[in-house]
A and B are shown apart, each in its own frame.
Chain A
């Protein structure tokens, strides 16, 4: 919120300079975000009086004027003719610099010396247009700095007011806070209303419906007003605070809102049906057209101001079009009230409309300040728009405000903050904040908080006030006492760390994508018609569903990178997916990756092979190995995103733990790719329970191994996995491992078959195997291959 430094000054003696002020506010919890000079910085521009004006001897269109300040007379050549002798004007003297970059110096104009320049509002940078030079009010003193006279030497402070401090949403409120934190003296403004009109009750009848969320309603009537534009000073002040000037009556309500924090509304009383005001909840099917020209449908949860015919305003939010104050208005009904914060918030949310008024009502205005703001506004309207203020005030206030009061234990504050306090120190702090404290027993004060501090509800609130004024930086820095314990990490934390370690060691870059995707991306992973976790109020159609797979995001990452000529892409993501479930969706952790391009980066000393299925399979195997999860199985499987012939599922202890393979040709086309990327998606939840058990040492063999090779031709459709497990089960003790060292098709190998070469390593943990023993098992292998798979054994060798 914006605050004028000069306006604050009206309430304070000894206001610190802007920089010191903003530091003091920031360090006491009211953050000053910026301080900027308002208007132009003018120097050497002063008030002066025209003594006489003569024609310029050498130019018909110019005048030669003599103008005096409090001390000196100047001779000024001037093109404007709107001033008369005796007028007070703005005089820029030699050395002055004006906003348009004009530098003033003594110079000869058509042969006659001009010692300065009389200025227009445009030249001073305070208006867009003007007719001639600016004429100041008759009572303007001479020789004064114009920035002071016009209030141009101001600073606007942008202040972040926290939601609890509703009392700071006004000049007066912030001034009160400044007094508390800096020691500057706060001074109230005296307001007097001259009631010269008839009794207010003759003009209007006001009622609050029983149970309506309105605890105070005050009103005054001013009759015979003349609605007109506001004086420039008022316009400038409103505009500097971000409010557009409307007319002298409406401007006063806004000015008082800014100054006191109390929202006000002015009705054209002659347009209110039956000259009555009823504060009530809206009925079914009622509506109101607000000042912004929109018709608002109402319901019985919304609080309105109604006249004899129906709603004329959304209470505390915005007035109605029909009773708006305009040029023809002569009788004004001025409203100042206290509406329940929650009622205003509810109505505002429902109507989708918020305003400077509702912002303050929602946070809570001072119930005891309602009447003072009304009087200030009535007196100002009277001053600016004339007319007569009706005698008496409408003040419906069924239940008077009772100030909150609570105990404050010194020891509790000391224990919570880690400082030492004295009763006197506490009392001094409370005193500065307007909190009345009385000692009720040893170390306990009973504190009564002022009506404008609705945020102070309990002891802890008061402890914070003490800490704030004491100064956070004056509180010492200590380390907590207690038992020393190591920090524990969870299983998810650990497995995530391991997976990231393995994949980055394998050259993968980690990506982080938004958890929400478009409908199209969501549908990509199938099956058709599935439901997802949907965001009610998405920011865009691209972010509407919580993803149920990480792969579409990775494909999108690939597309973006390729468009930027990043052609070697190896990325992974570790994140949850969201599956519709009970009250909350299920969040399942996935580790997914994508590989695209060459196996190695292009380089003079590396091969330029493309990636294939076995690269991604290698990665998946490496992840399981790295997690010490032995015994995962790979089986052919199909998934929507995958090439049906080049994809597989990995299962661990009977549970599907992921899928990998080459992307489906449809995916390749959809993402505009030159070739198929390789993908994997692992279901971390399927293995997490078994993770973290680590491995046990196996004794290193003491006896030598014997190896035998075997080459054979076998039907292509027989999976290698079946062949190898069939060999391994022949003798689980003596066959240590089987290595595949060659696979070959084509050439002299008959179509539909392939040649394979295996190296089988035989070893016993108890003795050295004899050649005979090895031969015996090895010929068994040969027989098994021929018998079970119809393999044609082409050769055997051993060492």
Chain B
């Protein structure tokens, strides 16, 4: 029997190694090691052997079976490998066809700049406050040291609802509102929409500002310079040149205008900076003692600074937009770009 087994094994190996397709290997597998295959018939004969031979014969049968199965597996794996290789060669897509794309929505570029300004000041420990857009003359002007008949009111052409109510001309109106309600120390920014009665190529009747202020004991002009320098470096890059020059706002004193080195020409002079090499980017100053008195803070005890910046202008610089009016036309080809 052992001899017969060995012959079978030889025959099987030779047959299997000659098989040239997966199907043929599978057929041979059935023939030799299938349930009714040749090996199985040996098992059937096993029962007829004497008990002392049975064990050795059984082991030999199993060895032969294992050997054939291994050989089959090896060959099958080879065929699978070839088949897979073939498939991977032919099963391909045109990777340059467009993807199944659901367009991304975008925040308005003004919002995006607003978001970054808010994030920077949030990181510097400033709270975010808001106030009404339709505002009392009192908060927009009077509480900011701009009494009626003050010529500086001409700096901002105003939309009126009635004698006492107007569309706020600056987010500075939030300043006395917050100070009236809270006590120092304060670090606040107030982003929002503002309105001025002005419409031409460089003015829209509605635009956006961020007002900021800090009030505490011992706040100095040098701190104002420090905070704004940090902010501008964060927004425009570490190496941006910055200069502070005196200016006038009724609600700050000393007042300053802050310029950055022109981001377009790096200071050599161009159309955007009108040849000066500098871009006016924000207005600032130490909060006027009159403003403190109005909200019942003692100007001898507290000092503070305030600043305001226009968002559209920054958005134009950051994105290279050359026409202010694009922001409010809402052409989706424009909105999609940012």
* Contact (A513, B100) CB under 8 Å given A415-B220, A489-B127: no
Interface code B103-140, partner A: CB below 8 Å = 1, 0 otherwise?
Answer: 11111101100000000011111111110111110000
> In the complex the two chains form, is A468's CB within 8 Å of B167's CB?
no
CA distance A482 to B149 in the complex (A): 39
> In the complex the two chains form, is B222's CB within 8 Å of A417's CB?
yes
Interface code A489-517, partner B: CB below 8 Å = 1, 0 otherwise?
Answer: 11011000000100111111111111110
A90-98, A228-236, A321-329, A538-546: which lies at the B interface? A538-546
Interface code A452-469, partner B: CB below 8 Å = 1, 0 otherwise?
Answer: 000000101101100110
Q: Is A486 an interface residue (CB 8 A)?
A: yes
The residues of A that contact B132 with a CB separation of less than 8 Å are: 584, 587
Q: Which listed residue (A468, A476, A510, A584) contacts B246, Cβ 8 A?
A: A468
The residues of A that contact B243 with a CB separation of less than 8 Å are: 27, 472-473
CA distance A571 to B107 in the complex (A): 10
Q: Is A441 an interface residue (CB 8 A)?
A: no
Among residues of B, the one whose C-beta sits closest to the C-beta of A349 is B149
> In the complex the two chains form, is A506's CB within 8 Å of B221's CB?
no
The residues of B that contact A564 with a CB separation of less than 8 Å are: 331, 333
The residues of B that contact A472 with a CB separation of less than 8 Å are: 225, 243-246, 254, 256
> Interface SS of chain B: helix, strand, loop or mixed?
mixed
Q: Is A369 an interface residue (CB 8 A)?
A: no
* Contact (A535, B160) CB under 8 Å given A418-B221, A512-B108: yes
> In the complex the two chains form, is B134's CB within 8 Å of A475's CB?
no
> In the complex the two chains form, is B111's CB within 8 Å of A485's CB?
no
CA distance A560 to B288 in the complex (A): 46
Interface code B133-170, partner A: CB below 8 Å = 1, 0 otherwise?
Answer: 11110000000000001011011000111101101000
Q: Is B214 an interface residue (CB 8 A)?
A: yes
Among residues of A, the one whose C-beta sits closest to the C-beta of B335 is A509
The residues of B that contact A463 with a CB separation of less than 8 Å are: 253-254
Within B254-291, the residues touching A (CB, 8 Å) are: 254-257, 274, 286, 288-289
> In the complex the two chains form, is A416's CB within 8 Å of B206's CB?
no
CA distance A416 to B288 in the complex (A): 11
> In the complex the two chains form, is A543's CB within 8 Å of B205's CB?
yes
> In the complex the two chains form, is A510's CB within 8 Å of B159's CB?
no
> In the complex the two chains form, is B152's CB within 8 Å of A346's CB?
no
Among residues of B, the one whose C-beta sits closest to the C-beta of A480 is B223
Q: Is A28 an interface residue (CB 8 A)?
A: yes
Q: Is B102 an interface residue (CB 8 A)?
A: yes
Q: Is B199 an interface residue (CB 8 A)?
A: yes
B2-10, B16-24, B55-63, B322-330: which lies at the A interface? B322-330
CA distance A543 to B197 in the complex (A): 11
> In the complex the two chains form, is A510's CB within 8 Å of B335's CB?
yes
> In the complex the two chains form, is A480's CB within 8 Å of B161's CB?
no
> In the complex the two chains form, is A560's CB within 8 Å of B331's CB?
yes
> In the complex the two chains form, is A511's CB within 8 Å of B335's CB?
yes
The residues of B that contact A503 with a CB separation of less than 8 Å are: 105
Q: Is B227 an interface residue (CB 8 A)?
A: yes
* Contact (A487, B253) CB under 8 Å given A419-B222, A510-B335, A515-B193: no
CA distance A479 to B101 in the complex (A): 48
CA distance A516 to B329 in the complex (A): 14
> In the complex the two chains form, is B330's CB within 8 Å of A513's CB?
yes
The residues of B that contact A493 with a CB separation of less than 8 Å are: 128, 130
Question: How far apart are A319's CB and chain B's nearest CB, in angstroms?
Answer: 22
Q: Is B41 an interface residue (CB 8 A)?
A: no
Interface code A743-764, partner B: CB below 8 Å = 1, 0 otherwise?
Answer: 0000000000000000000000
Q: Is B49 an interface residue (CB 8 A)?
A: no
> In the complex the two chains form, is A536's CB within 8 Å of B162's CB?
yes
Interface code A527-556, partner B: CB below 8 Å = 1, 0 otherwise?
Answer: 000000111111100010010000000000
The residues of B that contact A475 with a CB separation of less than 8 Å are: 221-222, 225, 244
Question: How far apart are B103's CB and chain A's nearest CB, in angstroms?
Answer: 5
Among residues of A, the one whose C-beta sits closest to the C-beta of B305 is A480
The residues of B that contact A507 with a CB separation of less than 8 Å are: 102-105
Within A311-327, the residues touching B (CB, 8 Å) are: none
Within B287-338, the residues touching A (CB, 8 Å) are: 288-289, 303, 327-333, 335-336
> In the complex the two chains form, is B135's CB within 8 Å of A584's CB?
yes
* Contact (A605, B216) CB under 8 Å given A345-B151, A473-B243, A511-B108: no
> In the complex the two chains form, is B328's CB within 8 Å of A512's CB?
yes
Among residues of A, the one whose C-beta sits closest to the C-beta of B303 is A416
Among residues of B, the one whose C-beta sits closest to the C-beta of A160 is B247
The residues of B that contact A536 with a CB separation of less than 8 Å are: 159-162
The residues of B that contact A417 with a CB separation of less than 8 Å are: 220-222, 254
> In the complex the two chains form, is B124's CB within 8 Å of A487's CB?
yes
Within A576-597, the residues touching B (CB, 8 Å) are: 576, 578, 583-585, 587
A57-65, A131-139, A162-170, A388-396: which lies at the B interface? A162-170
Question: How far apart are A641's CB and chain B's nearest CB, in angstroms?
Answer: 19
Question: How far apart are B97's CB and chain A's nearest CB, in angstroms?
Answer: 7
CA distance A538 to B197 in the complex (A): 8
Q: Which listed residue (A27, A346, A483, A512) contacts B149, Cβ 8 A?
A: A346
* Contact (A29, B245) CB under 8 Å given A487-B124, A511-B330: yes
> In the complex the two chains form, is B248's CB within 8 Å of A480's CB?
no
Within A371-413, the residues touching B (CB, 8 Å) are: none
* Contact (A560, B330) CB under 8 Å given A417-B221, A584-B136: yes
Within A588-628, the residues touching B (CB, 8 Å) are: 600-601, 603-606
Q: Is B226 an interface residue (CB 8 A)?
A: yes
CA distance A486 to B220 in the complex (A): 21
Q: Is A130 an interface residue (CB 8 A)?
A: no
CA distance A488 to B123 in the complex (A): 10
Q: Is A298 an interface residue (CB 8 A)?
A: no
> In the complex the two chains form, is A418's CB within 8 Å of B222's CB?
yes
> In the complex the two chains form, is A479's CB within 8 Å of B98's CB?
no
Of the candidates A163, A473, A492, A606, the one having the most CB atoms from chain B within 10 angstroms of its own CB is A163
The residues of B that contact A538 with a CB separation of less than 8 Å are: 159
Of the candidates B108, B160, B331, the one having the most CB atoms from chain A within 10 angstroms of its own CB is B108
The residues of B that contact A473 with a CB separation of less than 8 Å are: 243-245
CA distance A473 to B222 in the complex (A): 10
The residues of A that contact B127 with a CB separation of less than 8 Å are: 487-489
> In the complex the two chains form, is A464's CB within 8 Å of B253's CB?
yes
List 14 contacting pairs A-B, 8 Å CB cutoff, sorted by A.
A362-B151, A415-B218, A415-B220, A507-B102, A512-B111, A515-B167, A515-B206, A533-B161, A535-B160, A543-B205, A560-B329, A566-B331, A571-B330, A585-B134
**Contact surface of A with B, Cβ cutoff 8 Å:** 26-29, 31, 33-34, 162-165, 341-342, 345-346, 362-363, 415-419, 458, 460-461, 463-464, 467-468, 472-473, 475-490, 492-493, 500, 503-516, 533-539, 543, 546, 557, 560-561, 564, 566, 568-572, 575-576, 578, 583-585, 587, 600-601, 603-606
- Excluding A162-B247, A510-B105, A600-B102, 16 further A-B contacts by CB distance (< 8 Å) are A163-B154, A418-B222, A467-B246, A472-B244, A478-B225, A480-B219, A480-B223, A482-B216, A486-B122, A489-B122, A503-B105, A533-B161, A538-B159, A546-B134, A560-B330, A571-B335
Nearest 3 pairs between A and B by C-beta?
A418-B222, A29-B246, A504-B105
